[in-house]
Structure 1
Amino acid sequence: MSLVTQPSDKPRLAVVFGGRSSEHGVSCLTAREVLAAIDTDRYDVHPVGITRGGDWVQETAQWGELEPGTLPSVRDDLPPFVWESLRDFDAVFPLLHGPWGEDGTVQGLLEMADIRYVGAGVLASAVSMDKPFTKTVFSAAGLPQIPYVTIRPWEWKNDRSRVEDRIRALGLPVFVKPARAGSSSGVQMVEAWDDLDPAIQKARDFDPKVMVESAARGKRELECAVIQQPNGKPIASVVGEITVAEESDHEFYDFEAKYLDGTSLNVVPADIPVTLSERIRTYAVQAFEAVGCEGLARVDFFATDDGLVINEINTMPGFTPYSMFPVLWEASGVPYAELVDRLIQLALQRDTGLR
Structure 2
Amino acid sequence: MREVRARRVAVIGGGANDEHEVSLASAAAVTRAVEANGMDVVALTIDRSGRWHHGDGGPLPSAEAVALVVSCDVAFPVLHGVNGEDGAAAGLLTMIGVPFVGSPVRAGAIGMDKWVTKLVAQAVRVRTTPGVLVRSAADASSMDAVPPFVVKPTSGGSSNGVTVVRHPGELAAAIELACGSGDTALVESFVTGREVDIALFRDRAGVLRAGAALEIGVADGGVFDREQKYDGTASFTVPARLCPDEHAGVESAARALYDALGCAGVARFDFFVTETGVVLNEVNTTPGFTEQSQVPLMYAATGLGYEGLVRELIDAAEPAA
Decide: shared fold, TM above 0.5: yes
- Residue 204 of structure 2 aligns with which residue? 230
Conserved 8 A contact 1:238-1:281: no
Conserved 8 A contact 1:17-1:95: yes
Judged with a 3 Å threshold, the aligned counterparts in structure 2 of structure 1 residues 10 and 134 are, in CA distance, closer, same or farther, namely closer
Q: Does 1:141 align with 2:124?
A: yes
- Residue 233 of structure 2 aligns with which residue? 263
- Alpha-carbon separation, structure 1, partners of 2:76 and 2:167: 43
Conserved 8 A contact 1:10-1:42: no
Judged with a 3 Å threshold, the aligned counterparts in structure 2 of structure 1 residues 10 and 144 are, in CA distance, closer, same or farther, namely closer
- Alpha-carbon separation, structure 2, partners of 1:164 and 1:215: 19
Q: Does 1:204 align with 2:179?
A: yes
Q: Give deviations 1:65-113, integer Å, cap 9, x for gaps.
A: xxxxxxxxxxxx6252633211111111000000000000111111111
The residue type paired with residue 314 of structure 1 is N
Structure 2 unaligned residues grouped into runs of 5+:
none
The count of aligned residue pairs is 314
Judged with a 3 Å threshold, the aligned counterparts in structure 2 of structure 1 residues 239 and 10 are, in CA distance, closer, same or farther, namely closer
TM-score by length of 2: 0.92
- Does 192-201 or 31-40 show the bigger shift? 31-40
Conserved 8 A contact 2:198-2:269: yes
RMSD over aligned Cα atoms: 2.0
Q: Give deviations 1:38-85, integer Å, cap 9, x for gaps.
A: 23563111110000110000125xxxxxxxxxxxxxxxx625263321
- Residue 290 of structure 1 aligns with which residue? 260
2:58 to 78, 93, 97: 78
- Does 178-187 or 270-279 show the bigger shift? 270-279
Q: How does 1:1-355 map to 2 (within 5 A)?
A: 11-39=7-35, 42-59=38-55, 78-80=58-60, 82-85=64-67, 86-152=69-135, 156=136, 160-161=138-139, 164-166=141-143, 168-169=144-145, 171-217=146-192, 219-244=193-218, 251-260=222-231, 262-349=232-319
- Alpha-carbon separation, structure 2, partners of 1:316 and 1:228: 14
Query: Structure 1 residue 332: deviation in Å?
Result: 1.1
- Alpha-carbon separation, structure 1, partners of 2:88 and 2:6: 28
Q: Give deviations 1:163-222, integer Å, cap 9, x for gaps.
A: 6434x32x21000101111111111100011111111111112112111110012x1100
Secondary structure, counterpart of 1:38 in structure 2: helix
- Alpha-carbon separation, structure 2, partners of 1:245 and 1:304: 15
- Alpha-carbon separation, structure 2, partners of 1:103 and 1:350: 26
Query: Structure 1 residue 336: deviation in Å?
Result: 0.7
Q: Give deviations 1:305-339, integer Å, cap 9, x for gaps.
A: 33211111111111124411000000011111000
Query: Structure 1 residue 297: deviation in Å?
Result: 0.4
Conserved 8 A contact 1:128-1:314: yes
The residue type paired with residue 122 of structure 1 is V
- Alpha-carbon separation, structure 2, partners of 1:188 and 1:240: 23
- Alpha-carbon separation, structure 2, partners of 1:10 and 1:271: 38
Conserved 8 A contact 2:6-2:74: no
% of aligned pairs identical?
Answer: 37
TM-score by length of 1: 0.84
Judged with a 3 Å threshold, the aligned counterparts in structure 2 of structure 1 residues 41 and 145 are, in CA distance, closer, same or farther, namely closer
Conserved 8 A contact 1:104-1:126: yes
- Alpha-carbon separation, structure 2, partners of 1:129 and 1:41: 31
Judged with a 3 Å threshold, the aligned counterparts in structure 2 of structure 1 residues 164 and 305 are, in CA distance, closer, same or farther, namely farther
